[in-house]
């Protein structure tokens, strides 16, 4: 399953040989990410605005952490931003600020990381050893985590399925540790994103515990291969997910997951190689990470108790509970999941004695594929959002804004969200409705755009979607009917375009310059959109800052001249 609107839906630079009835092109946007605290990025932003204007684009969607990180704007940053605003006006190009990063919140959380969406951890056992409280629940066994033994070509302890267009088996020459590694070779007939092999192993786990799975991998000639690690509940729902990177050297990949109310689960590894590639997997481990990224805010309490029910207190029996690696300060909104498990100290006057076990209930940041979400129900979140919107509008005076509501993978678990009584989809709907009302309260003439993925039942607005508690469907109800949908559903374009057309929304095709051959080109996608009255244009997007194909991309998207 794809979870990232921007990071997984890559469009190749299309063939200009395709022709179709041109779509309307009143909106011709390109997407720009920059950090205006860096002089080089100020220059890049200025050049991009100029290049977009010269290629016939009339809008630049601008995302910068400085506009999403809260109320502080330094004079130097303001001067840099005004340089870009003035350049856009000079070139007659709309500068379209990105705001409200619900699912992309690193910059926003850099001011107050406690506003992260968090999940409960309950009855986590710790034992006092040499004056320190350490996680002490029985370890979770992994069979053949070192991939050292095999029954034929299948590692013992695992069930293999979907063996298509691959050659698999042990490699005793290339390994990270132990006697062997698991090697998967793509065949000449392999197709990126299809076929491959799936390995599964059942796990016995403790409910409401936080675990980290680590696995070492290396790859050769497989930049476009799919390599996924997941934990599946007995009902088949993903409670943990990681799409790991393909690197030529041995690399440790970490996945964090909360077991929720499950005491059994399934470990799943999916490998879909590309032709003539090699992928190695070795040394898979699982550990209880205890208080990793523990959330400290008023509505996320920590409760410490003994097996006999005695309550122990922070500051009296136990030192204040924190994670020393928890994000701190501006620019530190990214939650690290690879650091060591925090070790908790007791006080000199503690009633907890050496060797004693206690239980701790707490909340920790909910992480999916290395990403977190903002808790939209926390009152402080609303306060910061209000400040942000007023700040951005005051600095840029835009005609359009883009609500960065995308990639929302965890919602509904902490007390602030539970108190609303809403499903995850209803929370997204309320968040969008509140943000739109706030924008319009500042300037009612501003046109609002947002990404499609969290509102599309053909993409992420599903009954079950990662760590979205309850159904993620119904979120479309919060989007005003005059909003513009930046449609990024390249896997199901006809269904998605049709859904938003039936709902009465205007749309733009959120297309990609960066190449990936297994995704349909923008010319074919635009062909599907031709003739639809709600299609208002397209957007050129690049993750590699390659703006050299703006004119070619426009030609391919519209079927017309450069």
Residues 86, 45 contacting (CB under 8 angstroms): no
196 and 308 in a common domain:
no
126: which strand partners? 135, 358
CATH code of the domain containing 546: 3.20.20.80
Kindly report the backbone phi and psi dihedral angles of residue 333, in degrees, each rounded to the nearest multiple of 5, phi listed first. -85, 0
Handedness of CA 288, 289, 291, 293 (dihedral sign): negative
Rounded distance between C-alpha atoms, residue 385 and residue 100, angstroms: 7
Confidence of residue 512 (pLDDT cuts 50, 70, 90): confident
For residue range 15-67, list pLDDT tens digits in order.
444 455 667 889 999 999 999 989 999 999 999 999 999 999 999 999 997 77
**Confidence at residue 9, expressed as pLDDT on a 0 to 100 scale:** 35
**pLDDT digits over 113-141, tens only?**
999 999 999 999 999 999 999 999 999 99
Q: Are residues 205 and 165 located together in one domain of the fold?
A: yes
8 A C-beta contact, residue 322 and residue 103: no
Distance from C-alpha of 449 to C-alpha of 539, rounded to nearest angstrom: 12
Q: Which of 380, 372, 360 is nearest to 297 (CA)?
A: 380
* Of 365, 392, 408, the domain-final residue: 365
Check whether residue 296 and residue 191 sit in a common domain. Answer: no
Same domain membership, residue 124 and residue 108:
no
Q: Look at residue 554 and give its three-state secondary structure.
A: helix
Is residue 143 a part of any domain in this protein?
no
Question: Looking at the structure, do residues 169 and 103 belong to the same domain, yes or no?
Answer: no
User: What 3 state SS string does 309-347 have?
Assistant: CCEECECCCECCCCCCCCCCCCCCCCCCCCCCCCCEEEC
Shared domain for 164 and 242, answered yes or no, is yes
Residues 404 and 338 in one domain: no
Of the three residues 365, 398, 427, the one that is the final residue of a domain is 365
Provide the pLDDT for residue 72: 63
For position 41, what pLDDT does the model report? 95
pLDDT range class, residue 8, cuts 50, 70, 90: very low
Tokens read off for 303: 């409760």
Q: Report whether pLDDT(521) > 80.
A: no
222 has pLDDT over 80: no
Q: Is residue 337 in a domain?
A: yes
Confidence (pLDDT) at 428? 97
Reported as a pLDDT band with limits 50, 70 and 90, residue 515 is: low
Instruction: Provide the 10 A C-beta neighbour count for residue 170.
Output: 19
Print the domain residue range for 188.
Answer: 150-288
Q: Which residue has the tokens 């519209």?
A: 558
Q: Please report, for residues 226, 244, 279, 366, 459, the alpha-carbon distance to residue 269 in angstroms, rounded to integers and kept in the order given.
A: 10, 11, 13, 21, 22
Give the Cα separation of 414 and 361 in Å (integer).
Answer: 13
* Residue 10 resides in a domain: no
Q: Do residues 39 and 83 share a domain?
A: yes
Q: Does residue 4 have a pLDDT over 50?
A: no
pLDDT > 70 in the chain, percent? 92
Is residue 464, in this structure, part of any structural domain at all?
A: yes
Which pLDDT value is given to residue 174? 97
Q: How much is the average pLDDT of 437-462? A: 95
Predicted local distance difference test score (pLDDT) of residue 318: 97
Report how far residue 105's alpha carbon sits from residue 238's, in angstroms, rounded to the nearest whole number. Answer: 22
What mean pLDDT value characterizes the chain?
Answer: 89
Out of 71-80, 240-249, 380-389, 456-465, pick the least confident: 71-80
Most trustworthy range by pLDDT among 81-95, 384-398, 489-503: 81-95
| Helical (H) or strand (E) element with 21 | none
Q: What is the pLDDT of residues 343-397, one digit of tens each?
A: 999 999 999 999 999 999 999 999 999 899 999 999 999 888 888 888 899 899 9
How far lies 219's CA from each of 273, 279, 517, in Å?
10, 4, 20
**Residue 561: which pLDDT band, with cuts at 50, 70 and 90?**
low
pLDDT (average), residues 433-443: 94
Same domain, 441 and 424: yes
């013992």: which residue's tokens?
156
* Residue-level pLDDT at 18: 45
Average pLDDT over residues 253-282: 94
Calpha distance 419→478 (Å, rounded): 19
Average pLDDT on 407-423 reads 95
When pLDDT is cut at 50, 70 and 90, the band that residue 519 belongs to is low
> How many structural domains is the chain composed of?
3
Per-residue pLDDT averaged across 155-180, rounded?
94
Confirm if 270 and 230 have CB atoms less than 8 A apart.
yes
Dihedrals phi, psi of 33, to nearest 5 degrees: -110, 135
Q: CA torsion angle for 111, 113, 115, 119 (degrees, to 10)? A: 170
Residue with tokens 């939650």: 335
- Name the pLDDT band for 334 (thresholds 50, 70, 90): confident
Which pair of structure tokens corresponds to residue 512? 């990609």
φ, ψ of residue 300 to 5 degrees: the values are -120, 75
Give residue 533's pLDDT band: very low, low, confident or very high (50, 70, 90). confident
Indicate if 199 and 123 belong to the same structural domain: no
What pLDDT score was predicted for residue 211?
97
Task: Indicate whether 2 belongs to any domain.
Answer: no
Residue 5: per-residue pLDDT: 45
Q: Where are the alpha helices (DSSP H) in 162-217?
A: none
Highest mean pLDDT among 21-30, 102-111, 145-154, 507-516: 145-154
State the pLDDT at residue 10.
34
Domain-located, residue 3: no
Q: Assess whether 224 and 331 both reside in one domain.
A: no
CATH number at residue 249: 2.60.120.260
Q: Is residue 32 in some structural domain?
A: yes
Q: How large is the average pLDDT for residues 226-252?
A: 92
pLDDT attached to residue 294:
97
Q: Last residue of a domain, which of 236, 263, 288?
A: 288
- Whether 239 maps to a domain, the answer reads yes
Q: Is the pLDDT of residue 199 over 80?
A: yes
Based on the fold, state whether residues 45 and 77 are members of the same structural domain: yes
Q: Residue 330: how many CB atoms within 10 A of its CB?
A: 14
Number of residues that make up the chain: 562
Asked if 102 and 431 count as a contact pair (C-beta separation under 8 A), the reply is yes
């Amino acid at each position: 399953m794809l979870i990232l609107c921007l990071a997984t839906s890559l469009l190749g630079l299309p063939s200009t040989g395709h022709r179709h009835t041109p779509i309307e092109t009143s909106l011709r946007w390109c997407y720009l990410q920059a950090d205006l605290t860096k002089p080089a990025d100020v220059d890049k932003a200025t050049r991009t605005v100029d290049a977009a204007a010269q290629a016939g684009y009339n809008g630049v969607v601008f995302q910068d952490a400085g506009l999403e990180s809260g109320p502080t704007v330094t004079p130097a940053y303001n001067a840099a931003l005004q340089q870009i605003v003035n350049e856009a006006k000079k070139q007659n190009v709309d500068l379209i600020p990105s705001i409200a990063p619900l699912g992309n919140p690193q910059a926003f959380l850099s001011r107050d990381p406690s506003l992260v969406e968090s999940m409960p951890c309950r009855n986590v056992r710790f034992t006092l050893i040499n004056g320190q409280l350490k996680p002490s629940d029985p370890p979770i066994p992994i069979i053949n985590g070192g991939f050292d033994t095999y029954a034929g070509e299948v590692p013992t302890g695992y069930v293999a399925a979907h063996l298509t267009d691959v050659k698999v088996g042990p490699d005793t020459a290339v390994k990270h540790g132990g006697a062997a590694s698991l090697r998967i070779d793509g065949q000449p007939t392999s197709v990126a994103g299809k076929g491959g092999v799936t390995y599964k192993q059942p796990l016995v786990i403790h409910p409401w515990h936080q675990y980290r799975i680590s696995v070492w991998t290396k790859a050769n000639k497989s930049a476009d291969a799919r390599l996924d690690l997941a934990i599946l509940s007995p009902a088949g729902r993903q409670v943990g997910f990681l799409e790991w990177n393909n690197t030529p050297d041995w690399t440790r990949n970490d996945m964090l997951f909360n077991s929720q109310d499950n005491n059994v689960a399934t470990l799943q590894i999916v490998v879909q190689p590309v032709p003539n590639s090699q992928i190695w997997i070795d040394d898979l481990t699982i550990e209880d990470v205890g208080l990793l990224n523990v959330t400290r805010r008023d509505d996320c309490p920590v409760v410490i108790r003994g097996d006999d029910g005695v309550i122990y207190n922070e500051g009296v029996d136990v030192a204040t509970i924190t994670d020393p690696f928890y994000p701190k300060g501006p620019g530190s909104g990214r939650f690290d999941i690879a650091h060591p498990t925090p070790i908790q100290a007791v006080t000199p006057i503690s009633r907890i004695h050496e060797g004693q076990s206690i239980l701790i209930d707490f909340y920790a940041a909910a992480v999916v594929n290395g990403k977190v979400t903002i808790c939209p129900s926390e009152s402080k979140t609303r306060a910061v959002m209000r400040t942000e919107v007023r700040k951005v509008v005051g600095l840029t005076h835009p005609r359009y804004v883009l609500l960065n509501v995308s990639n929302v993978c965890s919602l509904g678990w902490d007390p602030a969200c539970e108190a609303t009584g809403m499903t995850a989809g209803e929370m997204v709907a309320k968040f969008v409705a509140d943000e739109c009302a706030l924008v319009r309260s500042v300037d009612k003439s501003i046109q609002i755009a947002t990404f499609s993925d969290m509102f599309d039942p053909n993409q992420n607005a599903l009954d079950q979607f990662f760590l979205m508690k309850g159904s993620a469907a119904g979120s479309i109800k919060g989007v005003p009917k005059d909003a513009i949908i930046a449609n990024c559903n390249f896997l199901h374009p006809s269904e998605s375009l049709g859904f938003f057309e039936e709902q009465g929304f205007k749309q733009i095709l959120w297309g990609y310059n960066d190449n990936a051959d297994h995704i349909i080109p923008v010319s074919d996608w635009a062909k599907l959109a031709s003739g639809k009255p709600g299609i208002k244009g397209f957007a050129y997007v690049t993750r590699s800052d390659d703006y050299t194909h703006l004119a070619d991309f426009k030609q391919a998207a519209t079927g017309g001249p450069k």
